[in-house]
Structure 1
């Protein structure tokens, strides 16, 4: 049976395809999750925190003093005390009028009167009020990914749940591309998205259409079946259930990708080959996840190129990079081997309107490793 899928005579520029995909897409509503569930999600607005610690506390075990009372004290000129000093341990609140902590070696209690054998400066051995958490700061800035160190702040402040945006992703695997589908699912999970995976009963349009459901997801990804082979029918299935906004993207690899809508839900159809699927994931699906998450623009690392990158005009090409001696070294352009994918530290897109970059030119690349 001949496939009904046919690439159009002219490919859609990548930026136009992305605009078609993201048009009308807004961040999902925030939800409250436990700290464990919120890890890697994108933070939404949170109330400001109180200062921590709320007052000065001991940062070391020792004796609490007022530093100005110890001026001149030394082993040669001990300061005699009329009463034993107050012992504090890490985390204890300092007594009133005390602003430093001396270790036990600096105080001699062996004689009839306690003696101080060293000076101190204000704040020595002390954690100041607000020294760990300044009053008014959030647990995590809205739009930023929740990291393990953010959970440290939350637990210290006694917070058990965080307000985050967690888009729901539905990934449909077209039989024959399970390795790629797992790659995309794991990539999606790394963004903090709530991801569920399904496999179509077959590669025909009817079987694929049967699992295209927009009722419980914010983004639908179809992996495989996007080409023009005899058994490729993912784009045909999308057209039958929803709307194809662009098929045939001027992207190398990944030109058989497609974007569309199922109801109000954005859809990306990714090719079944790992390199092509990753290209579509980075340039189409990931921006959609970021938009739904309300994430701040992803940061790039700017370094000069070790050598020239040549690219053909009219097709956006994916470039894989690794860092060597504070320069970007090119691993692959347009054709991405699995070895290059595994080694790559960053990626960038050479625009379809560009012929590439000269050696030594600074380029902004998106990091692939935290």
Structure 2
């Protein structure tokens, strides 16, 4: 009988495990993707846009005029016109010498001579050149996530493709953890990766090792089989094919997580339990994906804590938070229920060198929504 996996006598500090995992990891090469595929990916360098609209256009349907020609016009003193006014539809280029648009009720065309009944100011009813997109602006800055409103700018500018970085992610599911593997796969898709999903033929080391492939991905995730149970063999499988950097990380939950390499490809072994897998996903896998995609540092939201967070020294603990009246309310510390994961709006890590935070202390938390 094969000897079961064992954790080392001492756990690896989270920061050391992450530093080793990130060693040598560089951003992937940019690719041009259709707009729909570029959504949620991280933008690479892009050329500046031309002004849009390229010239003044009507913002509303109506009659086009020069504002200075209408000075003094009112319903009590209509301004007669010697020539018929020019009608424009919203989006039409403005005629020469015209800088405003009046609606149909502002011009009386029922008599023999059209009459203007109101004054106007320059730019009224007009969208100026560059009013939607200023010349030299960008669809999205390099290192930022492509959002739906960025695609609006791209389409308005006439673009059908965007230059982005999209890491290739291979997820190997160890049988028995489908719920967790599906959760990680969906999270990976939301992170803008090109993810492929495989299930190993069995839980034994040979079956898991057969599913590992570093040639088709930039990051390899193994979900399940990281513990010391009799059927856990994911770490042994990785050791047979590659290198183990750390197994047994000072992280709660997620202490049976592992990090390694298959060739030059970074590998994260996530536990099969959803809460432990999410902890390793947030603290180990996401930083690697951010490095691969060239993402700028993730923004945090700083708010005071509604109550004290106590933590044991030596273990980094995950804290789930929700926002209540401009305070961070704690949902869970170290032990994460599925309900807390579903309700959480943000998370943070209490480092292994800290005993926690006092009530009222401002803390920076990473957002899980939006």
Inter-partner Cα distance in structure 2 for 1:114 and 1:28: 65
The alignment status of 1:171 with 2:167, answered yes or no, reads no
State the partner residue of 1:351.
351
Structure 2 spans left out of the alignment, 5+ residues: none
Query: Does the CA-based 8 Å contact 2:250-2:315 persist in structure 1?
Result: yes
Secondary structure in 2 aligned to 1:250? Answer: strand
- The offset of 1:3, in angstroms, is 3.7
- CA deviations 1:37-77 (Å, max 9, x no partner) are 11111111111111000000000001111111111111011
Query: Does the CA-based 8 Å contact 2:107-2:116 persist in structure 1?
Result: yes
- The offset of 1:201, in angstroms, is 1.0
State the partner residue of 1:10.
10
- CA deviations 1:325-356 (Å, max 9, x no partner) are 11110000000011111111111000111110
State the partner residue of 2:34.
34
Inter-partner Cα distance in structure 2 for 1:294 and 1:345: 25
- CA deviations 1:139-160 (Å, max 9, x no partner) are 1111111111111111111111
State the partner residue of 1:292.
292
Inter-partner Cα distance in structure 2 for 1:297 and 1:123: 41
- CA deviations 1:265-285 (Å, max 9, x no partner) are 000000000000000000000
Query: Does the CA-based 8 Å contact 2:177-2:272 persist in structure 1?
Result: yes
Query: Does the CA-based 8 Å contact 1:3-1:231 persist in structure 2?
Result: no
Query: Does the CA-based 8 Å contact 1:3-1:229 persist in structure 2?
Result: no
State the partner residue of 2:368.
368
Structure 1 spans left out of the alignment, 5+ residues: none
State the partner residue of 2:281.
281
Query: Does the CA-based 8 Å contact 2:43-2:146 persist in structure 1?
Result: yes
Inter-partner Cα distance in structure 2 for 1:13 and 1:122: 65
Query: Does the CA-based 8 Å contact 1:200-1:208 persist in structure 2?
Result: yes
Runs of 4+ in 1 over 3 A off after TM superposition: 1-4
Query: Does the CA-based 8 Å contact 2:61-2:88 persist in structure 1?
Result: yes
How big is the alpha-carbon RMSD for the aligned residues of Structure 1 and Structure 2?
0.8
State the partner residue of 1:306.
306
Q: Normalization by structure 2: what TM-score?
A: 0.99
Inter-partner Cα distance in structure 1 for 2:247 and 2:99: 69
- CA deviations 1:80-119 (Å, max 9, x no partner) are 2111111111000001111110111111111222111101
- The offset of 1:2, in angstroms, is 5.4
Within a 5 Å distance, the mapping from 1:33-182 to structure 2 comes to 33-182=33-182
Query: Does the CA-based 8 Å contact 1:243-1:260 persist in structure 2?
Result: yes
Secondary structure in 2 aligned to 1:277? Answer: helix
Query: Does the CA-based 8 Å contact 2:4-2:229 persist in structure 1?
Result: no
Inter-partner Cα distance in structure 2 for 1:269 and 1:195: 16
Inter-partner Cα distance in structure 1 for 2:291 and 2:98: 51
Query: Does the CA-based 8 Å contact 1:313-1:352 persist in structure 2?
Result: yes
| Aligned residue pair count | 370
Query: Does the CA-based 8 Å contact 1:3-1:228 persist in structure 2?
Result: no
Inter-partner Cα distance in structure 2 for 1:349 and 1:183: 21
Query: Does the CA-based 8 Å contact 1:43-1:145 persist in structure 2?
Result: yes
Inter-partner Cα distance in structure 2 for 1:369 and 1:317: 21
Inter-partner Cα distance in structure 2 for 1:46 and 1:355: 45
State the partner residue of 2:214.
214
Inter-partner Cα distance in structure 2 for 1:364 and 1:300: 5
Inter-partner Cα distance in structure 2 for 1:83 and 1:3: 97
- The offset of 1:4, in angstroms, is 3.6
State the partner residue of 1:319.
319
Query: Does the CA-based 8 Å contact 1:225-1:235 persist in structure 2?
Result: yes
Inter-partner Cα distance in structure 2 for 1:208 and 1:131: 57
